[in-house]
């Protein structure tokens, strides 16, 4: 059944005392229309999707050439593009916009003209887990699609709107500090205009113990946090042999989800992990399918290309660089933006949605493990039944490759292991990393996160 049918009965009336039929707020009506439109566009053929995308890109592209200094200069030698089909044919030849080019572009990526009904705009900076944030402008139109896709995510996964959400994520709001955090009567800015929800409780990032204690006290139905926070909390609950009794699912975002984390969460908390792939500068990129662990590209919001070393599109099963073109951001158009992530292309999904599939998001180039034999792999952190996350008694850890043969394991807030224990751990690490690297243990008080609260399990510093 179309989940919109049951959702329609929940849409809030914006006129006091008119309960039936509902008179929604204009924004709610726009969002509802969009969700209805999504329910059709997610089943279009790939050819039709692409055709619609290029109709939109045609408008965006010509606007960018005319009104955005960066593209005025970059695209100066291109011929006049007078039809979406001409743009589609030229597309593979268009230059890529790398993160460093976007950083260098500075304000030249901003449109000189503000479009009515799109602006006002606000500056958005990526959290800069690389130490190299990028800054673009988001606006009313991009926020609208963010909200619509956020609602789509709830509908795909049949979240019950009257339930309680808990969110653990970094905020500078002092009220969100432990032990109590703060509370809002609505889940989010996406749900607020359209539907009554249960409350959303919010805690800023803190220690696993504080987060777990807060969750036990709130006892929410749903949890929203990043994967590294989830791993720490889950391991903490595993040690205590405890868990919040009402928790039904967890939504994650912002970091890479290792497959082992899904297993751990299912084992310890007995609930599924639902992931989203998004970035501040482009919005939602892909949502996890409701039927499996595939990610569906949000093709109504952006065009995603996954390109190999020769800049050709990857086939299912192949790994490539994620290249994104936003469809609706006329304040700072991003055309063929190489976001820096790598991903594996998936086969068409069995769920009936035709939105293109990403099988797995792998992360950044700096997350690649360099093997002494020349191979480059994203570490799986598990092998032959051994899992890295099980080795360190729930302590926060970070693995850093220092050279082709040397790996440092930074461990926070843990009593140092004895020499015998370290040697036993080294044997397990050799199995997990499939190579006798020289493992060094560093015991430190704290492993810092980036300003936005992001965390990387593995970094290669070669
Ligand atoms: Zn699917």
Nearest to 394 by CA among 252, 167, 207, 169: 207
Q: State the chain's mean pLDDT as an integer.
A: 92
Nearest to 75 by CA among 120, 30, 108: 108
Q: Which residues contact 374 (CB under 8 A, 6 or more apart)?
A: none
Q: Which residues contact 179 (CB under 8 A, 6 or more apart)?
A: 210, 213, 214, 217
Mean predicted confidence (pLDDT) in 181-192: 96
Question: From ligand 1's centre to the CA of 434, what distance in Å?
Answer: 33
Question: From ligand 1's centre to the CA of 328, what distance in Å?
Answer: 24
Residue 41 has pLDDT above 80, yes or no: yes
Residue 69 pLDDT class (50, 70, 90 cuts): very high
Residue 211 pLDDT class (50, 70, 90 cuts): very high
**String of b and e for 329-345 (b: at least 16 CB within 10 Å)?**
bbbbbbbbbbbbbbbbb
Distance between start and end Cα atoms, the chain: 52
Question: From ligand 1's centre to the CA of 260, what distance in Å?
Answer: 21
Question: From ligand 1's centre to the CA of 277, what distance in Å?
Answer: 15
- Express each pLDDT in 137-172 by its tens digit: 999 999 999 999 999 999 999 999 999 999 999 888
Tokens in use for 57?
């890109």
Q: Note the pLDDT of residue 128.
A: 52
What is the C-alpha to C-alpha distance for residues 277 and 358, in angstroms, rounded to an integer? Answer: 10
- Express each pLDDT in 229-280 by its tens digit: 998 899 999 999 999 999 999 999 988 898 889 999 999 999 999 999 999 9
Considering only 268-282, 324-338, 391-405, which range has the smallest mean pLDDT?
Answer: 391-405
CA geometry: angle 44, 48, 52, nearest 5 deg: 110
Per domain, the residue ranges of the chain are 368-460
What is the C-alpha to C-alpha distance for residues 236 and 84, in angstroms, rounded to an integer? Answer: 54
Question: From ligand 1's centre to the CA of 309, what distance in Å?
Answer: 28
Q: Note the pLDDT of residue 452.
A: 62
Question: From ligand 1's centre to the CA of 354, what distance in Å?
Answer: 8
Question: From ligand 1's centre to the CA of 419, what distance in Å?
Answer: 48
Distance of CA 441 to the CA centre of its chain: 31
Question: From ligand 1's centre to the CA of 427, what distance in Å?
Answer: 40
Output the pTM of the full model: 0.89
Residue 39 pLDDT class (50, 70, 90 cuts): very high
Question: From ligand 1's centre to the CA of 345, what distance in Å?
Answer: 13
Of all residues in the chain, what percent carry a pLDDT higher than 70? 97
Q: What is residue 389's DSSP assignment?
A: G
Q: Where are the beta strands (DSSP E) in 55-145?
A: 97-98, 121-125, 135-139
Q: Note the pLDDT of residue 373.
A: 87
Question: From ligand 1's centre to the CA of 325, what distance in Å?
Answer: 22
Residue 427 has pLDDT above 60, yes or no: yes
Q: Note the pLDDT of residue 1.
A: 63
Q: Note the pLDDT of residue 62.
A: 97
CB-side neighbour CA atoms (13 Å) of 333: 29
């Amino acid at each position: 059944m179309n989940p919109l049918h049951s959702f329609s009965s929940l849409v809030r009336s914006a006129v006091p005392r008119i309960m039936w039929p509902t008179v929604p707020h204009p924004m709610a009506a726009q969002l509802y229309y969009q969700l209805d439109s999504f329910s059709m566009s997610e089943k279009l053929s790939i050819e039709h999707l692409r055709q619609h995308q290029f109709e939109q890109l045609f408008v965006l592209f010509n606007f960018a050439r005319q009104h955005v200094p960066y593209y005025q200069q970059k695209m100066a030698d291109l011929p006049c593009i007078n039809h979406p089909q001409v743009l589609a044919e030229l597309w593979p030849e268009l230059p890529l916009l790398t993160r460093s080019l976007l950083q260098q572009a500075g304000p030249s990526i901003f449109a000189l003209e503000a479009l009515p009904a799109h602006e006002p705009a606000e500056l958005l900076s990526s959290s800069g887990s690389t130490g190299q944030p990028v800054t673009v402008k988001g606006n009313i139109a991009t926020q609208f699609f963010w909200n619509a896709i956020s609602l789509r995510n709830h509908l795909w996964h049949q979240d019950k709107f009257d339930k309680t959400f808990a969110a653990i994520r970094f905020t500078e709001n002092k009220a969100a500090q432990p032990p109590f955090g703060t509370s809002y009567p609505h889940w989010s800015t996406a749900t607020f205009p359209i539907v009554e929800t249960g409350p959303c409780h919010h805690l800023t990032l803190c220690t696993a113990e504080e987060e777990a204690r807060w969750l036990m006290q709130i006892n929410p139905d749903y949890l929203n946090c990043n994967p590294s926070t989830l791993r720490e909390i889950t391991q903490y609950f595993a040690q205590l042999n405890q868990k919040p009794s009402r928790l039904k699912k967890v939504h994650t975002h912002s970091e890479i989800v290792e497959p082992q984390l899904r297993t751990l969460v299912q084992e310890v908390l007995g609930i599924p992990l639902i992931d989203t792939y998004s970035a501040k500068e482009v919005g939602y990129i892909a949502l996890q399918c409701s039927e499996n662990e595939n990610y569906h590209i949000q093709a109504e919001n952006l065009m995603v290309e996954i390109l190999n070393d020769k800049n050709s599109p990857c086939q299912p099963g192949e790994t490539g660089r994620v290249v994104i073109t936003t469809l609706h951001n006329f304040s700072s158009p991003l055309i063929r933006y190489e976001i820096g992530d790598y991903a594996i292309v998936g086969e068409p999904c069995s769920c009936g949605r035709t939105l293109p599939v990403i099988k797995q998001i792998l992360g950044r180039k700096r997350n690649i493990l360099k093997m002494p034999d020349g191979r480059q792999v994203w570490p799986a952190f598990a092998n032959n039944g051994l899992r890295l996350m099980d080795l360190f008694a729930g302590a926060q850890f970070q693995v850093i490759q220092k050279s082709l043969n040397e790996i440092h394991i930074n461990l926070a807030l843990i009593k140092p292991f004895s020499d015998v224990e370290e040697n036993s751990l080294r044997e397990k690490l050799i199995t997990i990393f499939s190579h006798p690297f020289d493992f060094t243990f560093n015991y430190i008080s704290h492993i810092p996160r980036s300003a936005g609260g992001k965390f990387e399990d593995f970094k290669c510093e070669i």
